[in-house]
Structure 1
Amino acid sequence: MASTSTVTTLTIFSFVFFIELTVSQQISTVDSECTGRWIHIRTLPSRFNRDLLSTCNHYPLTDDLCPYLANHGLGPKTHTRTRSWYRTDPLLLELIFHRRILEYPCLTPDPNLASAVYLPYYAGIDSLRYLYGSDVNSSADHGSDLLSFLTQDSPEIWSRRSGHDHFLVMARPAWDFSQPLTVDPPIWGTSFLERPEFFNLTALTLESRFWPWQEQAVPYPTSFHPHSLPFLESWIRRVRRSRRTSLMLFAGGGGTSSTPNIRRSIRLECTNVTETEPETLSEKIKTCDFVDCSNGICEHDPIRFMRPMLQSSFCLQPPGDTPTRKATFDGIIAGCIPVFFEDQTAKMQYGWHLPEEEFSEFSVTIAKEDVVFRGVRIADVLMSIPKEEVARMRERVIEMMPRVMYRRHGASMGLMNKKDAVDIAIDGVLQKISSRG
């Protein structure tokens, strides 16, 4: 078996080769379908992207990311024969997005023709040295090197719109890049998004704050990256016919302290509920199923939670250390209706991918205060929803599935015609930039 360092080296060189090959083939002829949609990929020195991949195992306080660099950031396959299921680490979204945007049909080598400029900077990976490494006391400097490059190398590209037409992906919550520049000693996070010079660019983050203009949350990558339309359609058929033998499911950790909080309430309810027998079924179903994902044991093992999600009608999505959850999107992939306990978990985050005005059509919201302090039982609320309404909501969840998945790079043309999370993010970026005039 090859060593981790050897696999990492091969992954990096494979990725570099593809980037150089694709960039050299960027479209240079004007196409009417690309009017207003041209994107220029800014050529950055390797220290801003590929060199950072060699640090994938440098920070002992974090997981070793090296194994998950495989397949251009999708990670290793869950089993040898699959072409659509991977052990994906969400922190490698920057790598996934970079590989995918190289297939965007409206790329131009001329920045003067571009409506948007993509910065292939792996900000989340670079932030690790400030969060966990030797530069922890210099976290206010995060972004200074990138800014120097943008303002000194072909400065007219950056200055023509003061960065308004630039965008990048930051595969961490925005809070991790929001340390005030003047805090001494430093607290958690870097100051990248607090730099006034970057206030104009668009940052695609896994979780956004609700006030800054420049931030927009995009879905966490799941382990599902279909390679063809027939496979996606086959998976959807499986989701539709799956027997939902549990009313609700919580896949997660936490909730073990004595302090009142929503995760503790969920654990207590799931532990104390009894089986209930619906009138239309001869066999009993569980009221609540629980998959303990404590200590990160589910992070790269989708088999642990995908099957229970396929067997549950509702997936509980309580906030944790931060409001948002990757499990929200895992559940949607499984056709499991999400149950939210605060709007910041998804409704106020993913407006491009999960339109706010449609939220009640595919999800349930129960105020966490009602559960924690007012004695509301989650199961009672969910059992009160008519079966016809549950079936309709599940169908809407299935319709949302393509919007939140990240299809595999090099996918078949049929699947490429169905917009996924990257396509919708690009559409949103272009609209956001054009709205600024």
Structure 2
Amino acid sequence: MAISMSKKKSKVSKKLETKQHHFSDTILFKILYRIPAAIFLLILIFLWSSSTTIISGKFVHVCVSSRKLNNLYCLSAGTQPNFDIPIQELSNNGPISTNSTSASIKEVVDIVREDPNSIIGNRVQNNGSDDEVAFAVKVVETQLQVQRSWISNKNHAASCEGRGIYVYDLPSKFNKDLVGQCGDMIPWTNVCAYFNNDAMGEPIAKLGNGWYHTHQYALELIFHTRALKHRCRVYNENEAKLFYVPYYGGLDILRWHFKNVSNDVKDTLGLELVKWLENKKPWLKNSGKDHVFVLGKISWDFRRKNDASWGTRFLELDQMQNSMKLLIERQPWHINDIGIPHPTYFHPHSDDDIITWQLNIIRSNRKSLIGFAGAARPDAPENIRSILINQCNSDETKCRFLNCSLGGCDKPESVIELFRDSEFCLQPPGDSPTRKSVFDSLVSGCIPVLFDPFTAYYQYPWHLPEDHSKYSVFIGKEEVREMKVNIVEKLMKVSVREREDMRRFIVYELLPGLVYGDSNSKLEKFQDAFSITINNLLERVNRIE
């Protein structure tokens, strides 16, 4: 009986022990299970609070605060630009596009050359590409020829006769009210400080007179301020030759980039502006041909496709096809899209400011052969940046890499000092072909190395010469992607004499025309980017029949 009791007790003990183990394991499992879940939940909350997720068509854009908007070299352009050549819209008679006016098409086709001297012409022929592709390249280049034909070679210092500029006094919702939203325009940063000092930003004392912490999207405000003070401004619309519409379209779309709103909301202000203009006699008189808009973002942000959700359709509107649009990046197949320089950090007040800086950079001791300020694009495997970074880091004695993804480019002086100390500056495409960094390198006397003709050669006909070899080195991105070229080795082969010739051309011929003087600038010897643009616009409208 005792044994029996003992056995029974033993069985109960084992059962109880099993239950106790099971109970303990269950509690332990629940604790261990919930702790990682809680941590994971906290991580998700943190990421959500410091990022913005945007679903656009087939793309999901995640903007995390580590790539801040005040880190100008890491900033996404906010687009999915499509650079496919619109072959389906081409014919032997010219580029047939619903967005092109017949006059623009005729103007392009009339001067099409038989054998365009194209930077990518040989590649097109060697690849056996369709005739339509070669023709599309020809169209781009001949459009640039048309735009170059509008360059004014006259001396406009003396008279404003026949050169009146009328600045529309728009309702504040089209400009000033947009600036007032600077505090919450971008979820993770306040951009209001960039709009101080007539949108030049805060001064950078370390770099000297005329240097400011300017935001790359400040062009609309800078241009507006200068236009209001232009000596040929008129207040009677009947005396005007050129009509400037100061709509801050870039800020309009920037405020919606990171908010979940409908396309109708994004398009509202642009449509209201067109309706407002249609009630104005000057707009109706020439169908908007003598009107100009300045948009501080890239053309693709205003050309939303029907099945997409990114950007607005402002530049796709029928009413917007005749007017001239000045942008930091143009759409290559629209002749009335004209590229003008990105704002740099340098805004000289006087000729002496320019001369002082020219002497500074021409005498600079350039310690590095190559400088590169940028960040990799791991989510874009076709982008060549990672290859360039690896090649640069493989020889740190000749190439310096400033990693923008780690905050290295947050301070403009760090970027300018890198460029001022380098012979060549690598300028691969980023989220779109163009880069503000191209102009920062030129202003620093650093020879830009370009990998895509759309980065500069097909963009800025009024401010950069047709002969790109005078100021840059071109290396095809296909060569880099296929590992057929080592950047360091190739640039070492450029002779010292060639480098000096290019640098002198950049510093003395190009630099003054690439910067925007301050709002009260007193330039006499030089024309800055604003003056060149205004003079060429007036030349263009004088040719309107």
Q: Which structure's CA Rg is the greater one? A: 2
Identity of aligned residues (%): 37
Partner of 2:103: none
1:158 equivalent in alignment to 2:283: yes
Pairing of 1:396-415 with structure 2 (within 5 A): 396-399=505-508, 400-412=510-522, 415=523
> RMSD of the alignment, in Å?
2.1
Partner of 1:167: 292
Code of the residue aligned with 1:248 in structure 2: it is: I
Partner of 2:329: 207
1:121 equivalent in alignment to 2:247: yes
Shift of 1:377: 0.9
**TM-score normalized with structure 2 length:** 0.68
1:147 equivalent in alignment to 2:280: no
Shift of 1:295: 6.5
**Contact kept? 1:225, 1:406, Cα under 8 Å:** yes
Pairing of 1:198-277 with structure 2 (within 5 A): 198-256=320-378, 259=381, 261-273=383-395
Code of the residue aligned with 1:148 in structure 2: it is: K
**Contact kept? 1:341, 1:365, Cα under 8 Å:** yes
Partner of 1:314: 424
Pairing of 1:336-375 with structure 2 (within 5 A): 336-355=446-465, 357-375=466-484
Per the alignment, do residues 49 and 260 of structure 1 end up closer, same or farther by CA in structure 2, a change over 3 Å counting?
Answer: closer
Per the alignment, do residues 337 and 141 of structure 1 end up closer, same or farther by CA in structure 2, a change over 3 Å counting?
Answer: same
Of 244-253 and 78-87, more deviation after overlay is shown by 78-87
5+ long unaligned stretches in structure 2: 1-156
Code of the residue aligned with 2:352 in structure 1: it is: P
**CA deviation map 1:5-51 (0-9, x unaligned):** xxxxxxxxxxxxxxxxxxxxxxxxxx982233221111211111112
**CA deviation map 1:221-244 (0-9, x unaligned):** 111111222222111111011011
Partner of 2:221: 95
**Contact kept? 1:172, 1:207, Cα under 8 Å:** yes
The 2-side partners of 1:83 and 1:145 are apart by: 41
Partner of 1:424: 532
The 2-side partners of 1:384 and 1:105 are apart by: 49
Per the alignment, do residues 330 and 80 of structure 1 end up closer, same or farther by CA in structure 2, a change over 3 Å counting?
Answer: closer
1:288 equivalent in alignment to 2:414: no
Partner of 1:110: 236
Per the alignment, do residues 95 and 271 of structure 1 end up closer, same or farther by CA in structure 2, a change over 3 Å counting?
Answer: same
The 1-side partners of 2:208 and 2:245 are apart by: 32
For residue 328 of structure 2, give the secondary structure of its aligned residue in structure 1: strand
**Contact kept? 1:141, 1:191, Cα under 8 Å:** no
**Contact kept? 2:341, 2:514, Cα under 8 Å:** yes
Pairing of 1:40-59 with structure 2 (within 5 A): 40-59=166-185
Per the alignment, do residues 195 and 64 of structure 1 end up closer, same or farther by CA in structure 2, a change over 3 Å counting?
Answer: same
Code of the residue aligned with 1:247 in structure 2: it is: L
**CA deviation map 1:65-115 (0-9, x unaligned):** 211110010001123995411110021111111111122221111222211
The 2-side partners of 1:296 and 1:92 are apart by: 21
Shift of 1:128: 2.6
Shift of 1:135: 4.2
5+ long unaligned stretches in structure 1: 1-30, 275-285
**Contact kept? 1:179, 1:191, Cα under 8 Å:** yes
Q: Paired residues, what number? A: 387
Of 130-139 and 198-207, more deviation after overlay is shown by 130-139
Code of the residue aligned with 1:370 in structure 2: it is: E
For residue 90 of structure 1, give the secondary structure of its aligned residue in structure 2: coil
**Contact kept? 1:119, 1:168, Cα under 8 Å:** yes
**CA deviation map 1:195-250 (0-9, x unaligned):** 00011111111101101122111111111111222222111111011011111111
**Contact kept? 1:130, 1:142, Cα under 8 Å:** no
Per the alignment, do residues 39 and 258 of structure 1 end up closer, same or farther by CA in structure 2, a change over 3 Å counting?
Answer: closer
Shift of 1:141: 3.5
The 1-side partners of 2:217 and 2:379 are apart by: 28
Of 122-131 and 330-339, more deviation after overlay is shown by 122-131
1:436 equivalent in alignment to 2:436: no
1:84 equivalent in alignment to 2:210: yes
1:193 equivalent in alignment to 2:315: yes
Of 94-103 and 139-148, more deviation after overlay is shown by 139-148
For residue 126 of structure 1, give the secondary structure of its aligned residue in structure 2: helix
